[in-house]
A and B are shown apart, each in its own frame.
Chain A
Amino acid sequence: MADAIEVEHLIKRYGDLAAVNDIAFRVASGSVFSFLGPNGAGKTTTTEILEGLRRRTEGTVRVLGLDPWTDSRPLHDRIGVIPQDFRFFEKITPREAIEYYGSLFGTRPDAGDLLARVQLADKAESRFDTLSGGQKQKLGLALSLTNNPEICFLDEPTTGLDPTARRAIWKVIRSLKAEGRTVFLTTHYLEEAELLADRVAIIHHGRIIADGAPSDIIAAYGRPARIRFEAPPALADYLRAHLGLPVTAEDGRVEVELHEKGDVVRILSAAEASGIRWQQFATEQDTLEDVFVRLVGQMDEGTLKTETAT
């Protein structure tokens, strides 16, 4: 199937600032793509360019085969959008808002169903200015679905939501994917991206610094898996001498990197054989969040090796 979104050499300048500085990526139809990056990285700028809300300075952008800026009208019939800072008419209720969008798009959404789907049914008749921040976000999500969109652009849809509400939104995102829709998701919750996204791109200072499936990115940039003991440094010395594996000791913790499957057994028997008292042990693996923090940190220090995981 053709790619839902194609971006090449995209540049957006605000005066002297290149908020988006020559990026390229593609999003396959029907997949969930997550766009990650620290504050001010250029996520919203990119997202709004894709949505046809902002004009690009340079580059080519195709969304569903259309140029989002010049073909915004036909594009908007086929995409759903929650902006990062979703605001609506203050005195209007969620039910009225959905009916309004339904009349504008000429669709007949079932307001009750849609609100139940985003867990907002109990606030169907409350005015927008009385909704909490999270409830407003949920209405934004419901509205973005009134026109039965092929692509959903969600710019931080779960920011400010409580853990249950966040899980409800995850469920919606999964169901969107199951229905064959493409999802373009911006988030600061790395676990969310790791759970939901088929592919992620990490953007920083307007440049994409890593791009690929979450597991591939972790494999490419994460540290190897580790086993960790709570033990005195003497254990580190012992293991270093007997195993030939990298060992570190810090704050009453001893960590040994795992290079092969059998390593776990070897390390545990060596620890037993040492006769040194240790308390707990656990295996550890980098999450997308660990990788993200490290990549962004390295880029800020100027030590990032730019290779791309695929």
Chain B
Amino acid sequence: MRWTRILADFKIVVRSYVRNPVALFFSLIFPIILIALFGLIFSGSGTAVIPMTVLNLDHNSPASQEFMDALNSTSFVKLSFVNWSASSFAANLGANDDTVGLIIPEGFEANFTAHRPVNVTLYTDPEDAASAGQAVFVVSEVTNAFNLKAANGSAILGVNTENVGSPVYTYIDYLIPGLIGFSILTSPMFSMVDIAASYRKEGIFRQLSLTPLTRAEWLSSHILWYMSLTFVTAGIMIGAGIVLFGAHVTVSLGLIPFLVAGPFLFVSLGMLMGSVAKTPESAALIGNIVTFPMMFLSGTFFPVSDFPPGLQAFAHVLPLYYVIDGMNQVMLFANAARALTDVLVVFGIAVVFFLLAIRFFQWRDE
């Protein structure tokens, strides 16, 4: 590995890219479009607020009031209160064409303050899956926040209070790490698979094989390029999320390892997929088979913790999951230990894919 050669090739990659105005435009505009689109579809603004009918059996106790306030402040739901009896609640919901209802049980405050388990009951209509999903998401997030608070309250030493008063994360906050992960995955995967096939077909690899440039150096310069691109797009996405939707995410140095390791992993994987395939068509097919499940099941658009258990288990074998989870830990939960584990996993997988890619990709035909 020689840096002079990596840099010489890096210059070629950068020039090829920035001299392609369409590609450049899309790689800068696409992140904004993604954030805007998903932010508008799913965030609390506009039509995405769902009505929720609430029966408070705890006589408007302070704890139950606090729970309502927390639900309200997500701006995902609009609460309306009723005094129906608990036994006729479901029937009345149906009669009123309401699809989402919530019962706060009697003794909510007493149990909560005494740290005894207590359940709120959420009614949803499976036929209105979108509202149901959003209601489950919002209520479980608020419940989590309450549990965190309760846990802090019961901490033995009583000093670990940084989560008290922490904001309730809105969907846009989850969306930012998710969509950064999405672009870390998609832009190198699609283009490396394509480059692998087209450079072979056009004889560019054959041409490069006549120079001292090694395959590891060539791959490294591409990794370097996608890292640079990732830094730019992540910046754009965070900026757009904050400006357009008032997202509150933490931007810290802890993000850098993911913006480095992520492209390292997916450039290598893309090249590996493009190299094992014999034809450009099969390369594209293999690339899609690998990319699409990861695109949707790694916590890009919805937190993996909301998935059914089977899908959660599947998500844990997807490399992108660790990239997105790690960025969530850094940007939302300030959980450095878990972020470190995630980044080590990503680096480990990246090194393996890098070595495999170099092993499988050949400059020359037999």
Contacts and interface: CB of A to CB of B under 8 A. Distances in A.
B16 interface: yes
B25 to A, nearest CB: 15
A81 B204 contact: no
A105 B203 contact: no
A95 to B, nearest CB: 12
Interface in B186-206: 202-204, 206
A54 B364 contact: yes
A120 to B, nearest CB: 17
B14 to A, nearest CB: 10
Contact of A92 (B7, B15, B365, B366): B15
Contact of B207 (A52, A88, A103, A127): A88
A53 B209 contact: yes
A54 B212 CA distance: 17
Contacts of B365: 53-54
B87 interface: no
Interface of B, helix, strand, loop or mixed by DSSP: helix
A103 B203 contact: no
Given A54-B364, A103-B8, A92 B207 contact: no
B5 A104 contact: yes
Given A55-B366, A73-B212, 20 more contacts: A52-B364, A53-B365, A54-B366, A72-B209, A76-B212, A77-B212, A79-B210, A89-B12, A89-B204, A91-B19, A91-B20, A92-B12, A100-B8, A100-B12, A101-B211, A103-B4, A104-B5, A104-B212, A105-B211, A106-B4
B203 A83 contact: yes
B213 interface: yes
A51 interface: yes
Q: How large is the interface on B (under 10, 10 to 19, 20 to 34, 35 or more residues)?
A: 20 to 34
B204 A87 contact: yes
Contacts of B19: 91, 127
Interface of B: 4-5, 7-9, 11-12, 15-16, 19-20, 202-204, 206-207, 209-213, 364-366
Interface residues of A, number: 29
A44 B212 CA distance: 23
A83 B5 CA distance: 23
Contacts, number: 68
Interface in A206-250: none
A85 interface: yes
Interface of A: 51-55, 72-73, 76-77, 79, 81, 83, 85-92, 96, 99-101, 103-106, 127
Nearest to A87: B202
Nearest to B208: A104
Contact of A83 (B4, B206, B366): B206
Contacts of B202: 87
Nearest to A93: B15
A87 B212 contact: no
Highest count of chain B CB atoms <10 Å: which of A79, A92, A96, A104: A104
A115 B120 CA distance: 79
B236 to A, nearest CB: 23
B204 A88 contact: yes
Contacts of B15: 91-92, 96
Contacts of B213: 104
Nearest to A77: B212
